[in-house]
Amino acid sequence: MLKDVMRKKLREQGNRVTAQREAILKIFEEVGDHLGAEDVYQLLLRRRRRISKATVYRTLELLTSMGLLRRLEPNEGVYRYELAESSSNHHHAICTSCGTIMNIDLKDLENSIQQAAESIGFNMTNYSVVIYGLCPSCQKKINAETEMISSK
Amino acid sequence: MLKDVMRKKLREQGNRVTAQREAILKIFEEVGDHLGAEDVYQLLLRRRRRISKATVYRTLELLTSMGLLRRLEPNEGVYRYELAESSSNHHHAICTSCGTIMNIDLKDLENSIQQAAESIGFNMTNYSVVIYGLCPSCQKKINAETEMISSK
DNA sequence: GTAGGTGCAAACGCTTTGCATCTGG
DNA sequence: CCAGATGCAAAGCGTTTGCACCTAC
């Protein structure tokens, strides 16, 4: 269980196990991916857990440095986080219309990317692919609108 | 010439050609890639061109929306920009030690990425690959340090 | 008991905005 | 001449920090 992994890691590094840290990790287990600090804060409030934003920020950073969370590079605005275990082999497709983030598996590409990095003398530790475009539901919306117009 | 492209596009859209806009575009032609708003502002100052930061920000946004610049997704901190023409077929390798951004050509991957996007019903318009790791010069530094220690 | 964690509010840094003034077409 | 652009200063907004109080160990 992830909670136990966290407890173990915290203790190994001389950090403490606190209710706040467990609550924040639990949010990610329950709600899932791509949450920003504000999202986490609000989700905690909805669960009647009042944790200061400062603590949310500090905890997100701690969990990231411990390797439990991964921080996504924002294309726009806010840092978002996801469970690191779930993110080891996927990348992101971001809808430019509604902002939805979808996961996408690209592990077949790993070798080609690795090679390209080597070709410029770069020692790659990891990589991230972000795809921009329209998610299925925005495509539908746009198609529907187009039909409306052409049928007028 | 790029300046003429800009003039043409500005007029087409009913925007004005101003000295500030030309000066900012020129910075990118002369200095090149991966500049943040503050960089552009400082480079202008060094060239004795006092342009307010507000204008720098507004112009970077305008040039981006016109397709002349591209805004890079920051992994950390600040938005950076580069000439869009130079960025059509390259991606970025970011050194996690010194922060240097290197360009890398990955156009062979385009088809595979396109296909992966389609497989989840996503209509891709473009994509971005960011590679993290150590640039050649930081690798050297680290090797040198390691030798120093082992030879003690 | 005490080092480390938390909450609060203030500070921060990048970016955006309101408004008076200026200027390209 | 006047819609659009600029400069300035102030506001915004997500994030970080200083400090007094609290709590896990």
pLDDT, tens digit (0-9, with 9 covering 90-100), for B82-139: 898 765 667 888 887 777 788 888 877 888 889 999 999 999 988 888 888 888 988 9
B107 in A contact zone (CB under 8 Å): no
Confidence at residue A40, expressed as pLDDT on a 0 to 100 scale? 96
Could you check whether B1-86 and B88-152 share the same CATH topology?
A: no
Predicted confidence (pLDDT) per residue in B23-72, tens digit: 999 999 998 778 999 999 999 999 999 999 999 999 999 999 998 998 88
B65 with B10: CB under 8 angstroms?
A: no
pTM: 0.77
Partners of A133 on chain B (C-beta within 8 Å) are 117, 122-126
Tell me the HSE value of B11 on the side-chain side, using a 13 A CA sphere.
6
Distance between A119 CA and the closest CA of chain B, angstroms: 9
3-state secondary structure string, chain A? CHHHHHHHHHHHCCCCCCHHHHHHHHHHHHHCCCEEHHHHHHHHHHCCCCCCHHHHHHHHHHHHHCCCEEEECCCCCCCEEEEHHHHCCEEEEEECCCCCEEEEECHHHHHHHHHHHHHCCCEEEEEEEEEEEECHHHHHHHHHHHHHHHCC
Do the Cβ atoms of A133 and B121 come within 8 Å? no
Whether A112 has its CB under 8 Å from any CB of chain B: the answer is yes
Domain boundaries defined on chain A = 1-86, 88-152
Match 């030309």 to its residue by tokens: B22
> What is the pLDDT confidence band of residue B151, given thresholds at 50, 70 and 90?
low
Q: What residues of chain B, 133 to 152, have a C-beta less than 8 Å from chain A?
A: 133-136, 139
Q: Can you tell me which residue has its alpha carbon closest to the C1' of nucleotide C9?
A: A54
Q: What is the chain B residue with the closest CA to A100?
A: B122
Q: Does domain B88-152 have CATH number 3.30.1490.190?
A: yes
- pLDDT (0 to 100) of residue A87: 59
Which has the higher per-residue pLDDT, A108 or A81? A81
Instruction: Choose between B31 and B16: higher pLDDT.
Output: B16
Sorted by sequence, the CB contacts under 8 Å of residue B4 that are 6+ apart come out as none
Select the more confidently predicted residue: B62 or A148: B62
Architecture of domain B1-86: Orthogonal Bundle (1.10)
* Residue B87, pLDDT score: 59
pLDDT of residue A81: 92
Question: Is a pLDDT exceeding 70 seen at residue A75?
Answer: no
Q: Residues near chain D (nucleic strand), Cβ < 7 A?
A: A 10-11, 16-19, 36-38, 53-54, 57-58, 61, 77-79; B 14-16, 18, 20-21, 50-55, 58-59
Q: What is the mean pLDDT of residues A46-66?
A: 95
A residues 41..100 contacting B (CB < 8 A): 73-75, 93, 95-96
Q: Supply B6's token pair.
A: 């800009």
Look at A147 and A8; give whichever has higher pLDDT: A8
Res A148 pLDDT > 90: no
Backbone angles phi, psi at B70, to 5 degrees: -125, 140
Looking at CA atoms only, how far is residue B146 from chain A in angstroms?
16
Residue A151: pLDDT above 70?
A: no
Phi, psi of A57 (to 5 degrees): -60, -45
Q: What is the model's pLDDT at position A99?
A: 72
